[in-house]
Amino acid sequence: MKKTVLYSILVLFAVSSNAQIASDTGLQKKVDSLKLLMTNSKTDKKLSYYKEIIRLFVNSDPDICLKYTDSLFLFSTKENNKNGIALSYFYKAISYKNKSEYNKAFTCNFKALHLFEELNDSTLQGNTLLHIAVCYTNLKSYSKSLEYLEKAERIYENIGDYSGIIWVLGNKSIIYGKQNLYEKALEIQQLMLTILKSDTLKGTDFIYDNIIKTEINIAVSYMHINNFEKAEKYSLDALVPIRKLKDKVSEALVLLNLGQIKSQLGDTKQALNYLNEATVISKQIKDKLLLINCYKSTADCYEKDRNYKKSNEFLIKYNDLYQKVYSADEFEV
């Protein structure tokens, strides 16, 4: 029997850098406004404005972010402000991580960590340790990643930072998923969901997004241990709020997973409906990876339904798009 390869994504949990999203015009206006406010401001105010500017670019444009972190470093050094110097290293590390320049990211992270320890800033110590762990995860050094996650978790527990604990647990579940240890990942994900739905974090903006991420990840884990009924339940639980948020990437991902789930449960008609929805959205948002896998999953579904003509049609689409994606830097979906 041919084995169906499930396309599923564990949604990565990383400590938020409070990055903001805006149009190019709106972004430049915001930057210009902050630069104007910075003029003649006192040191602490200037630091806050620098942080606001850096957060605008930290995840969207690491090269521009690095320019502003350099400016923050020079300003903080001139003012002998240890907190500003530490923050410049902290945001430099994120930018280098986003550029996959991990040696530079590690160097900046450890410099930031040393300074945050001197400043007794436990929250930013935990956040820096978490970023170090994410770098190790990206490098597939999972034992080192878990080592730093444990350190971060101890700090967050000591200061009662449940948001930090959720970030740690989320990243642990990702690591176990990457190692195909889905039962272990599920144990952690269920613990996360319990914490997120408890009164501990009640009423915070943090909860809503992370409940959705956790439900998606639980569904993915159940898919991988072939418990498709549970996978369907958690996928549907996540889909309703995702649609309210108009998060098209997550919606396409969940619909794609639901298509595969229903195919595994023998309901090819509903599976194809989900896969068609996922395909339409993937085209709208021009998500190459999602669209490739929509075509492949649709081909597999038609093959399972013994509609070989349609299966071959989508297999051709899959192969053509796959070749375009991996043989050219840019293309139009």
pLDDT tens digits along 218-260: 999 999 999 999 999 999 999 999 999 899 999 999 999 999 9
Q: Torsions phi, psi of 287, nearest 5?
A: -95, 105
Q: Supply the angle between the helices 122-138 and 142-159 in degrees, to the nearest 10.
A: 160
Q: How much is the pLDDT for 42?
A: 81
Work out the end-to-end distance of the chain between its first and last CA atoms, rounded to an integer number of angstroms.
Answer: 33
Six token digits for residue 38: 């910075």
Radius of gyration of the chain, Cα coordinates, nearest whole angstrom: 22
Six token digits for residue 308: 């070989």
The Cα 112–Cα 86 span in angstroms is 5
- Break the chain down into helix, strand, coil percent, rounded to 5: 80, 0, 20
The Cα 85–Cα 68 span in angstroms is 12
Six token digits for residue 317: 């689409």
Q: How much is the pLDDT for 6?
A: 46
Instruction: Name the nearest CA neighbour of 226 among 3, 1, 13, 2.
Output: 3
- Cβ atoms of 212 and 5 closer than 8 Å: no
The Cα 152–Cα 270 span in angstroms is 43
- Cβ atoms of 96 and 88 closer than 8 Å: no
What sign results for the dihedral spanned by CA atoms 194, 197, 203, 204? Answer: positive
Q: How much is the pLDDT for 331?
A: 44
The Cα 128–Cα 137 span in angstroms is 14
- Cβ atoms of 172 and 146 closer than 8 Å: yes
The Cα 46–Cα 29 span in angstroms is 18
- Cβ atoms of 205 and 161 closer than 8 Å: no
* Matching residue, tokens 């798009």: 321
Q: What is the mean pLDDT, run by run of 10 residues, along the chain of 333 residues?
A: 44 50 64 79 84 87 93 94 96 95 98 98 97 96 97 97 93 94 96 88 74 92 96 96 91 96 96 98 94 96 95 96 76 46
Sorted by sequence, the CB contacts under 8 Å of residue 126 that are 6+ apart come out as 152, 155, 156, 159, 161, 164
The Cα 188–Cα 166 span in angstroms is 10
The Cα 258–Cα 298 span in angstroms is 12
- Cβ atoms of 265 and 303 closer than 8 Å: no
What sign results for the dihedral spanned by CA atoms 29, 31, 34, 36? Answer: negative
Q: How much is the pLDDT for 21?
A: 44
Q: How much is the pLDDT for 59?
A: 80
Q: How much is the pLDDT for 330?
A: 47
Q: How much is the pLDDT for 284?
A: 96
